[in-house]
């Protein structure tokens, strides 16, 4: 695992190929028994429809899955990555052997339904805070084995990535503070790994902890489960000294009010944890 994932097109393509290979191994195993009933020389054309409005995300994964089963497939996206589609709109057309399209179908759609759902939900949260200083940030509450794919989807929806994992940044939480003895002690200890970390952030639950963290030189502070009045006071006390992030109890309904307290970031686990898949379907017909 790289210390920092760069989300470049080349890195995304490599990630998508690996994810697709695992997904196909899980689904196809030793062979698609049902697709084997179809003449291997028969060719077909298929259309993928979005049954609801969504931000399309997951094209590299869908293409990787299809290419691994049907290398010569013709692929045409009618809605680009990161663009919004309407309900019942055709977003993708593919052509290849009927066997290949049938075998790849579910894996392709699984990636599209998950990643488009994350991107669509993120876009709604980003829109809700538009005009404020707040950025919408993801968390580590992701599906095991698909974290980078889901974080890519957050970026596609206009959100910001938090740390990738435990290895690339420091996030000091309540139990770390308790184990170290105090806010000041744990921040001092964090300096020993500062060169390895993309950032050091500490979670506080009270204004007194915030003051102690700022006095100890904290540059990023996570304000955990604070009410509106306390959040506004925290912003006043901070006075721009550290990046302030909100976490806990964040809903779309109260998101705008939270953003208007003046915080810099709002981290939301539900972007990747509580995902309702976008509904896609594929319709296949034989090519004359």
Active site residue 173: yes
Residue 129, token pair as written in the block: 């805070």
Q: Which residue among 27, 52, 95, 224 is the active-site one?
A: 224
**Residue of 32, 70, 138, 203 marked active site:** 203
Residue tagged active-site, from 106, 147, 219, 232:
106
Task: Please give the structure tokens belonging to residue 155.
Answer: 């970026």
Going from the C-alpha of 205 to that of each of 91, 209, 221, 260, 262, the distances in angstroms are 46, 7, 10, 20, 18
- CA 11 – CA 17 distance, rounded (Å): 10
Residues listed for the chain? 288
224 catalytically annotated? yes
Annotated catalytic residue, options 173, 232, 241, 273: 173
106 is known as an active-site residue: yes
- What b-and-e string marks burial along 32-41, b requiring 16 or more CB atoms within 10 Å of the CB? beebeebeee
Instruction: Look up residue 216 and give its DSSP letter.
Output: T
Catalytic option among 43, 47, 141, 241: 141
The question of whether 285 is a catalytic residue gets the answer no
H helix or E strand, kind and range, residue 157? none
Q: Which residues are known to be catalytic?
A: 106, 141, 173, 203, 224
């Amino acid at each position: 695992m790289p210390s920092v994932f760069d989300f470049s097109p080349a890195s995304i393509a490599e990630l998508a190929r690996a994810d697709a290979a695992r997904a196909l191994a899980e689904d196809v195993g030793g062979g698609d028994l049902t697709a084997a009933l179809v003449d291997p020389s028969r060719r077909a054309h298929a259309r993928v429809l979005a049954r609801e409005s969504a931000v399309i995300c997951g094209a590299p994964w869908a293409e990787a899955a299809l290419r691994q089963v049907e290398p010569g497939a013709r692929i045409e996206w009618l809605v680009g990555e990161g663009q919004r589609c309407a309900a019942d709109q055709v977003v993708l057309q593919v052509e290849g052997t009927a066997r290949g399209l049938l075998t790849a179908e579910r894996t392709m759609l699984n990636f599209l339904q998950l990643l488009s759902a994350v991107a669509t939900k993120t876009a709604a949260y980003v829109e809700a805070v538009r005009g404020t200083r707040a950025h919408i940030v993801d968390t580590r509450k992701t599906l095991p084995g698909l974290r980078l794919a889901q974080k890519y989807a957050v970026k596609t929806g206009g959100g910001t990535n938090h740390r990738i994992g435990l290895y690339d940044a420091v996030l000091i939480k309540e139990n770390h503070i308790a184990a170290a003895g105090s806010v000041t002690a744990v921040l001092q200890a964090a300096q020993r790994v500062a060169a390895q970390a993309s950032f050091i952030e500490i979670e506080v639950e009270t204004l007194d902890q915030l003051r102690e963290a700022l006095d100890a030189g904290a540059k990023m502070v996570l304000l955990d489960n604070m009410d509106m009045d306390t959040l506004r006071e925290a912003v006043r006390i901070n006075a721009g000294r550290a990046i302030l992030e909100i976490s806990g109890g964040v809903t779309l309904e109260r998101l705008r009010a939270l953003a208007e307290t003046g915080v810099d970031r709002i981290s939301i686990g539900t972007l990747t944890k509580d995902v309702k898949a976008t509904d896609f379907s594929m319709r296949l017909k034989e090519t004359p």
